Amino acid sequence: MIEAGDTAAVAAQLGREPRGVRAVASRCPCGRPAVIETAPRLPDGTPFPTLFYLTCPKAASAIGTLEGSGIMRDMQARLADDPSLREKYAAAHEDYLRRRDEAARDEGVEPLPAGMQSAGGMPERVKCLHALIAHEMAVPGVNPFGREALEALPEWWRSGPCVRAEPEPGEDE
């Protein structure tokens, strides 16, 4: 669901107008959007495989710091060594693909081709914590590495909203 002011807030977060927004998939505790759900195809038909897109710049910065700590190397090694973790991560990948296909049906557009990536390197690599955390924030309890990384983040929202956005014309905030 998109509430009054959400589109302006996301535009301020991204520094550009968002494309293909279907809903706010998760909000920061401050109330602003943190993750949006996007259509699998942009309005011009271009494939857009990132269903859950992290928009909060404070969260993105905190995640970048976490990525820089080397945590993804450890995650990748554990993925290679732990069959149970591989199974959970593969299930997260399947969840992502299923939800993306449902979004395509809901939007009345052609689903993305079979074999197109999901997000964050799933199911075989740990490539982008931003995407994995966005998935976990949108669908809590689904993405094991997204959950682990989210729990490792500082409380990025504590200092207040990441942006001040005015409502769109005709909207009340």
The pLDDT of residue 162:
86
For helices 57-68 and 71-81, give the axis angle rounded to 10 degrees. 70
Q: Please give the Cα distance from 101 to 109 (Å, whole number).
A: 9
Q: How many domains does the chain have?
A: 1
Query: Which of 51, 65, 54 lies closest to 14, judged by CA?
Result: 54
Q: Please give the Cα distance from 25 to 114 (Å, whole number).
A: 24
The pLDDT of residue 172:
47
Q: Please give the Cα distance from 167 to 173 (Å, whole number).
A: 6
- Please, which residues have CB within 8 angstroms of residue 2's CB and are 6 or more apart in sequence? 21, 23, 24
Query: Which of 61, 40, 131, 53 lies closest to 89, judged by CA?
Result: 131
For residue 154, say if its preceding peptide bond is cis, omega within 30 degrees of 0: no
Residue 83 forms part of a structural domain: yes
Residue 159 forms part of a structural domain: no
Residue 101 forms part of a structural domain: yes
Residue 162 forms part of a structural domain: no
Q: Are 52 and 25 in contact (CB under 8 A)?
A: yes
Neighbours of 68 (CB within 10 A): 9
- Parent domain of 45: 6-152
Residue 165 forms part of a structural domain: no
Chain-centroid distance of CA 43 in Å reads: 19
pTM of the entire structure?
Answer: 0.92
Is the pLDDT at 38 greater than 50, yes or no? yes
85-124: per-residue pLDDT in tens?
999 999 999 999 999 999 999 999 999 998 888 999 999 9
Is the pLDDT at 60 greater than 90, yes or no? yes
Residue 167 forms part of a structural domain: no
Mean pLDDT of the chain: 92
Residue 160 forms part of a structural domain: no
Residue 77 forms part of a structural domain: yes
40-59: per-residue pLDDT in tens?
999 899 999 999 999 999 99
